[in-house]
Amino acid sequence: MEDVRPEYKKKSIRSYVVRSGRMTDGQKLGFHDHWPNYGLSLHQGLLNFQSEFGRNAPQVLEIGFGMGGSLLSMIQLEPDKDFVGIEVHAPGVGRLISDAGKLSLQNVRVYMADAIDVIEDCIPDASIHRVQVYFPDPWHKKKHNKRRLIQPSFIQMLREKLEIGGTVHLATDWEPYAESMLEVMESATGYQNTAGARKYSLRPDFRPVTKFEARGERLGHGVWDLIYARIL
């Protein structure tokens, strides 16, 4: 399974770089044993959540779940919700579906694909209860800022997919990116800051603290959460 690759349509600028990390035997076994149950393809087209999960429940979309640890926790803590994760890094996908399979979790599905392509082609309008984008690549250098995922056009794309009252939850540990996110969200049409104008949110209980985040907090590093609701 070492040749597993993410799905994407050709585009000039991407917000990520596909890393070439090798998968462990456990992650490879995760793909072999559990991808048929948990995996979704960009080429399947528009997703019917009720048919896929066999019930009508609030839908949570996580973009860029990394190695999947925090997403796995949320899947277990919120069994009343169905989760769709998007990630391009094969070892992270393999680990998540392997762990989900061991726990016999039924409320998660995964795309290994470009998030923008998935949102455009696979997510129905007004279908999502919550979108989560935690610790996206900040692209520190100014010349690379155009690669940042959180851009006005992307945020408006997400708005179309959210139900009225649904939320976008962003988190970052890079203060300049937090400031950029705040500017983008405060200027976005059809959203309301749930913490009040130009304010960051407290970390909600449903977002687990990652080991990396906890280590950073011990060193005095900040983390900024932003939660905005669709109102139009």
Alpha-carbon distance 86 to 92, whole Å?
10
**What span, in angstroms and rounded, lies between the C-alpha atoms of 142 and 120?**
27
Given the residues 33, 82, 125, 137, the one annotated as active site: 137
For the question of residue 82 being annotated catalytic, the response is no
Of 125, 122, 116, the closest CA to residue 148 belongs to 116
Of 27, 21, 207, the closest CA to residue 101 belongs to 27
Please, what is the angle between helix 152-161 and helix 175-187, to 10°? 60
What percent of the chain is helix, strand and coil (3-state, nearest 5)? Answer: 40, 20, 40
Name the phi and psi angles at 27, rounded to 5: -70, -40
Active site residues: 137
